Chains A and B, each alone.
Chain A
């Protein structure tokens, strides 16, 4: 028994030694909520919680979002999206597009230096381009660059690419993937180099420390071409469990994280969070939908698809599943962005119309059991979705309940992701699926809707085919003129709304939370972190000091 009491002594000791720190942290939280002058100042650190650890910091090799987030701080591209989704220069000062849309000439900024002091030139872009199209580079982002017929560097600050055919998404493909320091990487095997874990970039931050499984620390790059970032240090802490991360936020261990709907609407609605944090909300570039297998005899009939659309209350799904943190979707684009067409059929909840349409299509409850029949077969189908995504499962459950009301029986089956994709989507073994698409900022969705993309492993897995849509998709990606593109994508949305190959359900909101001491955050349609180098903490509120 003696040993037992001994152990408790140790435990008590540890606890007491912890008490000292507690005082300190409390006072820090106090000053954070106090009023200080809001002048910009250098210094302090921001700590973001991340669920996954980055694997590789060369953007073209990375497949996970954690890697892209961190690499995005270290590397810049030639162009980037402005807050209104127009394309503006980043490392390229300006660019010209030839009248036939085949040649893009980028004029690069002069005097930009890599973090090791070497000047950035068009050779670095050329090197990145050659690396990404290299046979031996295992990258998922090759496709856009294989369209390039010819790339040239007429001088140190000019980079010129020629395409076979005009290709509108081409411009933004020169975003963040292909600028790599040639002087450090030339002649090396990019998959094996140390560079992937000790990158040298030219972005606002530079990696200084990577403690495996724990954290990555990035220090501000004082020579950043848009000016030294105000916040001296950016730290990513790897915390795999979301519940733990939320507790860390409350304990002061992290400054910034993404909240779940319930955390946003309930758990952070108290004085502690109101005083110490700021919450943001903006639509994610993604939508959730229910897709029909258009090869299925029942779903071939447009009236049936329309009826189901009328029978589902999208607002109800947003309110119940997302706690109101989202908006009903009407097409494959995010509301309030330039390709989004607000004037399409929205399919408000209308069960009577749904029943009417089903009746026209020959579906009647002949035996009085509450379920519709046609040719003696009851209307019963299965919605497949992937396991582990509760939002989708809850959405499916609501749909199941709503469709039961108009006499359609729905089963829900949740499958493990790989099984779901390999065995059901790829083999077309489904009646309806509930899935989501993340959409790029460019409106080109050729791969999802074009009738040529229906082979196994391709993304038009519902076998959608409409010659007019095919033509418009092609037109949309072959011109750089915004008005022309807009017209094409508006028309596509009209057709999709009329034909209902998908029922577009909702666009979820991103809901990040940031500690209140950070100022200068300007929410926009592309989120909050686009102007991170301009965030700052007024001198009085700074919590961490960097002693080197």
Chain B
């Protein structure tokens, strides 16, 4: 197994290299340049000034050279400086060491996604099991309907409805951002409560679709398992039903879910872009959106590289989890 692991880790390097190469080219192929924000249809700028700006950003060199320069820096873990007018190092924008954790964008996005995955699993697995065990019961039918509504509902629309109801109509929950304006004057527990209240709606929205999908997945996987012979054997042995389901069937039914979680990383990052913008949460998704809009290449590349790294790690962890959970795979 260690050999297999090492092999897998080494395989990740060329994959990552390939991803950065392709994304770098695609981003530069998109029309427009970072200097456009200053120069597009601004009558006050002359062609000479435009050229100077482009030179300043290093955009006058051929694209292969630009990629080479970028790669050379990234190998030393230096993602360069942002092209936006503040010219700050890209890493500082994503992970500012001088700021508290809640003001580091990567942390915020990471935290929300992890909590959201946990919530998804905590809710989706029991729902999936129950509807599989009580197939075609009223509960199953209700959850099935709810799940399809959940699938069909656009998350931004759901978010707006929730904000209107809980924020404007009832005044129970804050509408946007991560903390209140008097956050600094709150006690420690007050701060936690404040952030928790701000997170209720974003977490609900980001988990809603996931719960819908994963519970369907869990249901079908469970249905497949309880039809198998070893479950019949367990029942024939006279084991109580809850042991049959939770000890014998569940472990087998969970296996495909492990892979699913590993593969869901890119989806989560993509989802962050949407809900962070709606809820005004200062995470990486929001930053990414702004970076793409202003063609801030170094920032876009940095976030994409981190994203693809996380995806690859997610895949690797899924494989490892699979090996731990399933002796049949370990044997190979």
Chain A residues at the B interface, C-beta cutoff of 8 Å: 1, 3-4, 7, 11, 14-15, 17-19, 21-22, 25-26, 47, 52-53, 55-56, 61-64, 67, 135, 138-144, 191-192, 196-197, 211-215, 235, 237-241, 243-244, 247-248, 250-251, 253, 416-419, 421-423, 437, 445-448, 455, 457-459, 547
Chain A nearest Cβ from B18, distance in angstroms: 26
Q: Which residues of B contact A62 (CB under 8 A)?
A: 85
- Say yes or no: is B308 at the interface (Cβ < 8 Å to chain A): no
Cα-based distance from A67 to B47 in the complex (angstroms): 24
B31 touches A416 (CB 8 A): yes
Contact A214 to B41, CB < 8 A, known contacts A55-B85, A192-B87: no
Cα-based distance from A239 to B177 in the complex (angstroms): 8
B280 touches A240 (CB 8 A): yes
Contact A213 to B105, CB < 8 A, known contacts A7-B119, A22-B171, A253-B174: yes
A19 touches B172 (CB 8 A): yes
Q: Which residues of B contact A11 (CB under 8 A)?
A: 200
- Say yes or no: is B173 at the interface (Cβ < 8 Å to chain A): yes
B122 touches A3 (CB 8 A): yes
B173 touches A63 (CB 8 A): no
- Say yes or no: is B43 at the interface (Cβ < 8 Å to chain A): yes
Point out the residue from B33, B37, B56, B287 that lies within 8 Å of A213, measured CB to CB: B287
Q: Which residues of A contact B76 (CB under 8 A)?
A: none
- Listed A/B pairs (9) with beta-carbon separation below 8 Å: A17-B193, A138-B52, A142-B49, A143-B44, A144-B44, A214-B178, A244-B279, A251-B174, A421-B40
- Say yes or no: is B168 at the interface (Cβ < 8 Å to chain A): yes
Chain B nearest Cβ from A29, distance in angstroms: 10
B176 touches A244 (CB 8 A): yes
Q: Which residues of B contact A244 (CB under 8 A)?
A: 160, 163, 175-176, 278-280
Residue of chain B at shortest CB distance from A60: B85
Contact A138 to B53, CB < 8 A, known contacts A63-B85, A247-B167: yes
Cα-based distance from A191 to B83 in the complex (angstroms): 11
- Say yes or no: is B248 at the interface (Cβ < 8 Å to chain A): no
Point out the residue from B42, B130, B164 that lies within 8 Å of A140, measured CB to CB: B42
Interface residues of B in 217-238 (CB under 8 A from A): none
- Say yes or no: is B69 at the interface (Cβ < 8 Å to chain A): no
A4 touches B123 (CB 8 A): yes
- Say yes or no: is B191 at the interface (Cβ < 8 Å to chain A): no
Q: Which residues of A contact B278 (CB under 8 A)?
A: 241, 243-244
A14 touches B197 (CB 8 A): yes
Chain B nearest Cβ from A32, distance in angstroms: 15
Cα-based distance from A250 to B283 in the complex (angstroms): 25
Which of B33, B38, B170, B287 has most chain A Cβ within 10 Å? B38
0/1 string, B268-291, CB within 8 A of A gives 1? 000000000111111100110110
B38 touches A1 (CB 8 A): no
Chain A nearest Cβ from B206, distance in angstroms: 15
Closest 10 CB pairs of A and B: A213-B282, A418-B32, A447-B43, A22-B171, A140-B38, A418-B31, A419-B31, A18-B172, A239-B280, A56-B85
Q: Which residues of B contact A421 (CB under 8 A)?
A: 32, 36, 40-41
Chain B nearest Cβ from A20, distance in angstroms: 10
Point out the residue from B30, B160, B167, B174 that lies within 8 Å of A243, measured CB to CB: B160
Contact A238 to B280, CB < 8 A, known contacts A214-B177, A253-B176, A418-B31: yes
Q: Which residues of A contact B283 (CB under 8 A)?
A: 213
Q: Which residues of B contact A135 (CB under 8 A)?
A: 52
0/1 string, B112-135, CB within 8 A of A gives 1? 000000010011001100100000
A212 touches B280 (CB 8 A): no
Q: Which residues of A contact B33 (CB under 8 A)?
A: 418
Cα-based distance from A53 to B46 in the complex (angstroms): 27
Q: Which residues of B contact A47 (CB under 8 A)?
A: 181
B160 touches A18 (CB 8 A): no
Chain A nearest Cβ from B233, distance in angstroms: 26
Cα-based distance from A455 to B105 in the complex (angstroms): 43
Contact A18 to B123, CB < 8 A, known contacts A239-B280, A247-B163, A418-B30: no
Which of B87, B127, B163 has most chain A Cβ within 10 Å? B87
Point out the residue from A26, A237, A241 that lies within 8 Å of B171, measured CB to CB: A26
Residue of chain B at shortest CB distance from A456: B47
Residue of chain A at shortest CB distance from B283: A213
Chain A nearest Cβ from B331, distance in angstroms: 32
Q: Which residues of B contact A437 (CB under 8 A)?
A: 41
Chain B nearest Cβ from A154, distance in angstroms: 29
Point out the residue from A15, A212, A418 that lies within 8 Å of B172, measured CB to CB: A15
A143 touches B85 (CB 8 A): no
Cα-based distance from A445 to B127 in the complex (angstroms): 66
Residue of chain B at shortest CB distance from A420: B31
Contact A213 to B286, CB < 8 A, known contacts A241-B278, A247-B164: yes
Cα-based distance from A140 to B15 in the complex (angstroms): 40
Point out the residue from B36, B171, B200, B280 that lies within 8 Å of A418, measured CB to CB: B36
Cα-based distance from A421 to B40 in the complex (angstroms): 8
Which of B37, B86, B196, B279 has most chain A Cβ within 10 Å? B86
Cα-based distance from A276 to B295 in the complex (angstroms): 40
Interface residues of B in 21-69 (CB under 8 A from A): 30-33, 36-47, 49-50, 52-53, 56
Cα-based distance from A62 to B290 in the complex (angstroms): 16
Cα-based distance from A63 to B181 in the complex (angstroms): 28
B56 touches A448 (CB 8 A): no
Residue of chain B at shortest CB distance from A415: B31
Cα-based distance from A53 to B160 in the complex (angstroms): 22
Cα-based distance from A418 to B31 in the complex (angstroms): 5
Q: Which residues of B contact A143 (CB under 8 A)?
A: 44-46, 49
Contact A67 to B85, CB < 8 A, known contacts A7-B119, A248-B175, A253-B176: yes
Q: Which residues of B contact A237 (CB under 8 A)?
A: 177, 280
B277 touches A240 (CB 8 A): yes
A18 touches B99 (CB 8 A): no
Residue of chain B at shortest CB distance from A7: B122
Q: Which residues of A contact B172 (CB under 8 A)?
A: 15, 18-19, 22
Cα-based distance from A244 to B126 in the complex (angstroms): 34
Chain B nearest Cβ from A291, distance in angstroms: 12
Chain B nearest Cβ from A42, distance in angstroms: 20
Q: Which residues of A contact B171 (CB under 8 A)?
A: 18, 21-22, 25-26, 251
- Say yes or no: is B259 at the interface (Cβ < 8 Å to chain A): no
Which of B31, B96, B173 has most chain A Cβ within 10 Å? B31
A138 touches B56 (CB 8 A): yes
Cα-based distance from A494 to B130 in the complex (angstroms): 78
A419 touches B32 (CB 8 A): yes
Cα-based distance from A52 to B37 in the complex (angstroms): 14
List 10 additional A-B contacts (Cβ < 8 Å) besides A247-B168, A419-B31: A18-B173, A26-B171, A56-B85, A143-B44, A144-B44, A197-B86, A215-B181, A241-B280, A247-B164, A423-B31
